[in-house]
Each structure stands twice: as C-alpha cells, then as structure tokens.
C-alpha cells in the first residue's frame, strides 16, 4: 500500500508511553553535586561519550555514586551545566573557516559570563576540558572582545603578556634551574659567534 493510500488514524497522545527523562549526577572537586539532563550532557562531547560508555540505567544513576569530575570546582561546574541545560538540543556548531570567526554571544550567555576574569578563565578551561564547542566559542569571543580598541601596550597589560626582556629572563632562569652548565655553554657560544667563528666545535 502506498503512503498516499494509507488510512488516517487518530492518535491518542495520552496513551503513548512517555519516555522518562534521564538525569545524571556529577560531583565537582569540592564535592558539590549536580543533576544534569541527558540532553544537556550532549553539549559536552567528553561527558556524552563518557556516559554512553558507562551505560547507566536510571536506577544506576540513583544508586551509584555521582560521577566525579576531579578538575573542576563547583562554582565553575555550576556555570557549565547551567549553560548546557539552557542550550540543550541545539546543534553543535561547525567552524566555517570565516576570517574572523563570526560568533554571536546570546543574551543568556552574556549574563552567564558576567563574571570576574578569574572565573571566566576557569570556565574556558572547563569548556575545553569537557569539549563543549559552543561554550568555548562564546567564552573565547568574550576574551577576544577585551582586545577591542587597545594599543600593544594596553594589550600587554590586559592579557598579562610578558615583554621580550621578561621572557628572556624567565627562559634563562628556567635553564639555570635545569642545568647550571647550560648558561655557560650558551655564553661561550655567543662569545665565539662574536669572534666570528663559524663552528662551535
């Protein structure tokens, strides 16, 4: 029978068994627990693959301990899961290669990220860690927006970029800490270069 000829049947929606929504339990490194819907978890590629691999039933979720996320504190994880719940069901964006990348920060995200830079820093680390593409996009866009209208000197201050001299000093200190002989070798090399030698050996 073709589709066109199939009989039309009224469906009693109430009679259809509604699939029970599943919530997972996660615990931050400071022992704060969160219940997150299965759909919201799909925003995080890492967590999504994790719960799929675990194969928990609803009973397992209730009876077994919460899944520990050791590297993220409760304050940050709360923001992450708030974001995931708000954006649940949305498609994961794909980079279209435009220059510069076009990222709009929705109002909800802007309010969510109205936080101090310390927490924003942790949020980005968490988004990267949990592989939440769109959260990473919007949070990084917020960081990029800090560059607007700034001179190199201002950017150095805002982004805490060390000057070349500071970088050199840090490199020397690291080398010395690792191998006290390294600096002597480097100085010897520089001296030979100054004397016009082509080969160090």
Partner 1 sequence: MGVCYSKLLKTTFNSSKYSYDVNWSPEWSPTPKTFPLLRLPFLALLEVFKSLDPIELFILSQCSRKAASSIHFVGSKKWKLSVDVREQSININDIYRVAITESSIKPTWIYDRRMKMLFVKYQKNENNKLELQKVLSQLQSAFRCPVTSFEYNGFWKSDQCWVSVLKCIVQNQVQPLESFVLTRSWKMEDLERALQNVKVSRQIRIRIHASSFLRLDLMMFKSCKCIELSFSWLTISDLDVFMEEWKAGNLPSLRYMLIRNDGFHWYWYDQILGFKRDEMKQLGARRKLVIDENLSVDECTGGVDIQADNGRKATIQMDRVSDSWFKLFVWNN
Residues that bind partner 1 (CB under 8 A): 46, 49-50, 53-54, 64-71, 95, 97, 99-101, 103, 116-118, 120-122, 124-129, 136-137, 139-141, 143-152, 155-164, 167
Residues 6+ apart with CB under 8 A from 48: 41, 42
Give me the residue label for tokens 């301990």.
Answer: 65
Shortest distance in whole angstroms from residue 150 CB to partner 1: 7
Shortest distance (Å) from residue 142 CB to partner 1: 9
Which lies closer to partner 1 via its Cβ, residue 79 or residue 126? 126
Distance CA 30, CA 71 (A): 9
Of 4 and 104, the one with the shorter C-beta distance to partner 1 is: 104
- For residues 90 and 167, which CB has a smaller minimum distance to partner 1 in the complex? 167
Torsion 71-74-79-83 (CA) sign: positive
Q: Shortest distance, CB of residue 89 to partner 1, whole angstroms?
A: 23
Q: What is the 3-state secondary structure (H, E, C) of 27-83?
A: ECCCCCEEEEEHHHHCCCHHHHHHHHHHCCCHHHHHHCCCEECCCCCHHHHHHHHHH
Q: What's the min distance (Å) between Cβ of 190 and partner 1?
A: 18
Nearer to partner 1, 45 or 192 (CB): 45
What are the backbone dihedrals phi and psi of residue 58, each rounded to the nearest 5 degrees, phi first? -60, -35
- The smaller minimum CB distance to partner 1, of residues 12 and 59, is found at 59
Token pair, residue 55, equals 């194969």
Q: How far is the CB of 187 from partner 1 (least distance, A)?
A: 21
């Amino acid at each position: 029978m073709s589709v066109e000829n199939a009989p039309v049947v009224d469906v009693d929606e109430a009679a259809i068994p509604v699939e029970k929504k599943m919530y997972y339990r996660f615990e931050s490194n400071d022992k704060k627990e969160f219940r997150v819907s299965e759909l919201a978890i799909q925003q995080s590629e890492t967590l999504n693959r994790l719960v799929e691999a675990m194969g928990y039933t609803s009973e397992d979720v209730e009876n077994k301990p919460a899944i520990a996320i050791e590297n993220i504190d409760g304050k940050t994880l709360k923001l992450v899961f708030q974001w995931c719940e708000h954006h649940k069901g949305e498609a994961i964006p794909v980079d279209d290669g435009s220059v510069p990348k076009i990222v709009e920060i929705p109002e909800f995200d802007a309010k969510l990220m109205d936080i101090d830079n310390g927490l924003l820093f942790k949020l980005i680390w968490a988004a990267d860690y949990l592989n939440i593409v769109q959260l990473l996009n919007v949070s990084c866009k917020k960081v990029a927006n800090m560059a607007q209208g700034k001179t190199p000197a201002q950017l150095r201050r805002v982004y805490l970029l060390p000057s070349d001299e500071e970088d050199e000093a840090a490199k020397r200190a690291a080398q010395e800490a690792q191998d006290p002989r390294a600096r002597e070798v480097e100085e010897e090399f520089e001296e030979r270069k100054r004397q016009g030698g082509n080969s160090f050996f």
